[in-house]
């Protein structure tokens, strides 16, 4: 089930981004999406909030919230990019959020397996932790790159 949620999360991000960007850029409709948390393009706290939202929303619902979190992230990044409120580098911040989401899915599914009595949380926690660390490092690299570009 974990792999299915991984694929669904990625597809949700891609579909939301493509759909909202197409409507905003080519359809002449301006949707101006606002996420359910504080976000301002180029603000360190806004980017960190997006990363935390993707991780916690995915983890909170045992991984099943991952695709929903990625729908929000994809719509947000596409809306800001299409309206000119963000740059292409700002849209790259969707990647650390995706890794945070995948980490939350992995850890949430592991917790659900333990709750059901089908295994231990600690059997699979390493994969989720590695995804979280990779996302945090990528977030840091993008934040440093943002200062130079």
pTM of the model: 0.91
| Token duo for residue 117 | 């009595």
111, exposed or middle or buried, with CB in 10 Å at 0-12, 13-18, 19+? middle
Q: What's the pLDDT score for residue 41?
A: 76
pLDDT higher than threshold 80 for residue 3:
yes
The pLDDT tens digits for 34-81 are 888 998 877 899 999 999 999 999 998 899 999 999 999 999 999 888
Contact 102, 130 (CB under 8 A): no
Alpha carbons within 13 A on the beta-carbon side of 57: 23
Q: Where are the domains of the chain?
A: 2-27+49-148
Q: Comparing 63 with 121, which gets the higher pLDDT?
A: 63
> Which helix (H) or strand (E) element contains residue 49?
helix 44-60
* CA neighbor of 100 nearest in space, from 59, 42, 144: 59
- 2 falls in which pLDDT band (50, 70, 90)? confident
Q: Which residues contact 143 (CB under 8 A, 6 or more apart)?
A: 44, 47
Q: What is the Cβ-side half-sphere exposure of residue 133, based on CA atoms within 13 angstroms?
A: 6
Q: How far does Cα 22 stand from its chain's mean position?
A: 20
């Amino acid at each position: 089930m974990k792999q299915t949620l991984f694929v669904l999360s990625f597809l949700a991000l891609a579909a939301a981004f493509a759909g909202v960007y197409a409507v905003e850029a080519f359809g002449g409709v301006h949707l101006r999406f606002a996420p359910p948390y504080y976000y301002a393009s180029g603000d360190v706290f806004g980017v960190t909030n997006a990363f935390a939202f993707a991780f916690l929303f995915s983890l909170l619902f045992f991984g099943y919230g991952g695709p929903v979190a990625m729908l929000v992230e994809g719509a947000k990044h596409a809306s800001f990019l299409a309206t000119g409120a963000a740059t292409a580098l700002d849209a790259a911040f969707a990647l650390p959020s995706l890794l945070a989401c995948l980490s939350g899915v992995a850890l949430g599914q592991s917790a659900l397996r333990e709750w059901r009595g089908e295994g231990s949380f600690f059997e699979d926690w390493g994969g989720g932790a590695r995804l979280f660390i990779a996302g945090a490092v990528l977030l840091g690299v993008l934040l440093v790159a943002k200062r130079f570009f």
